[in-house]
Amino acid sequence: MIKNLLRYLDSIIFGKPDPKEVKQNICMDKGYDYPDIREMVKDYGYTAHIRKRGEEIDEKKKIPGYRARRWVVERTHSWMNRFRRLLIRWEKKS
């Protein structure tokens, strides 16, 4: 995981502004919640926004009716996986 993150941070091709002038942010999911990764992102000049593991479970307990937010891509894939016309292939059946 660390190697992939290093490749990603090194492959950013556009020049970023000076960190002293503009604060640079990077959003990551809770799979990246490790001290090494947080430190690496900080070394590259980014402010990491990473959810802590277990944070979502605590919010579920505290807030009644709390629903976890999903990434747009995850939601879209979920819709496509259960899209009935594609799932059953109605056009191919006689």
Q: In Å, what is the CA distance from 21 to each residue of 18, 25, 41, 57?
A: 5, 13, 18, 37
Residue 75 to residue 69: CA distance in whole angstroms: 9
**What pLDDT sits at residue 44?**
85
C-alpha 56 chain-centroid distance: 14
Stated pTM of the model: 0.54
pLDDT, tens digit, 9 for 90 and up, residues 40-54? 989 888 889 888 887
pLDDT at 79 over 70: yes
pLDDT, tens digit, 9 for 90 and up, residues 5-39? 888 787 876 776 776 778 888 888 888 888 999 99
